[in-house]
Amino acid sequence: MISQIIKDVKKTFLGINGSHDWDHARRVFNLCTCIGKKQGADLKVLKLAAILHDIGRNKEDISKGRICHAKMGATMARELLQKYKVNENLISRVVHCIESHRFRGQQKPVSKEAKILFDADKLDSIGAIGIGRAFWFAGQIGAKLHNGYHVPIEKTKPYTIEDTAYREFSIKLKKIKDRMFTKEGKRLAEERHNYMVFFFKRSQKEIRGEM
């Protein structure tokens, strides 16, 4: 069943930007599996949630953020799992994970599996891979390499020329380590956070031409 679901999910990623593509879902799947084993989670719920968590991402990108991919993804995931006649209890548990995984979302993860998915998804947005994804996304939407010299970050807006990787770091990424739910997530986030802070400090110095 999982192999068939993966085939269906991959279709939704066709043409999607590289920061939230199938490779991202696969990395989150790997993180969920590793953390889930250590935390004693239900791996069936967790693996399905990881595979499906960004199924609504393309619709959010097309709408330029007006559609919430977590809410849309939860609806799409429910319909897909029902097609494969998955039992309703399992569907509900997977859907909760998906609808509560978004950093800026209003719904918070409650179950162990939802907390692990949240952590795994956020871990993939920080550290070395997170830096790469931030620059990739900025390029996809036409943002600059770095922000203007006299533009305060707090006055910049998403999906504009000023929506740079550094803006993403300043607005969101540097806060992620303090939002982790699981013990293993917190440990991994601390290490990735420190690497990211070093990188952006160095990049800002280079932008200013400092030695």
pLDDT in tens, 188-211: 999 999 999 999 999 999 998 987
Which segments of 104-164 does DSSP mark as H helices, in order?
Answer: 112-123, 127-140
Structure tokens at 171: 């607005």
- For residue 30, is it within any domain? yes
Q: What is the CATH number of the domain that holds 98?
A: 1.10.3210.10
- For residue 168, is it within any domain? yes
Evaluate if pTM is beyond 0.95.
no
Q: What is the CATH number of the domain that holds 185?
A: 1.20.58.1910
Contact by Cβ (8 Å): 189, 180: yes
What are the tens digits of pLDDT across the range 142-154? 999 998 777 789 8
Burial class (CB in 10 A: 0-12, 13-18, 19+), 85: exposed
Banded model confidence at residue 107, pLDDT cuts 50, 70, 90: confident
Residues 144 and 91 in one domain: no
- For residue 129, is it within any domain? yes
* Whether the predicted pLDDT of 162 surpasses 80: yes
Residues 133 and 103 in one domain: no
- For residue 118, is it within any domain? no
What's the CA angle centered on 75, arms 72 and 113, to 5 degrees?
95
Structural domain of 85: 1-107
Length, in residues, of the chain: 211
* Whether the predicted pLDDT of 63 surpasses 80: no
Contact by Cβ (8 Å): 94, 48: yes
Residues 136 and 208 in one domain: yes
Q: Per-residue pLDDT averaged across 30-59, rounded?
A: 94
CA distance 30 to 161: 33
* Whether the predicted pLDDT of 18 surpasses 70: no
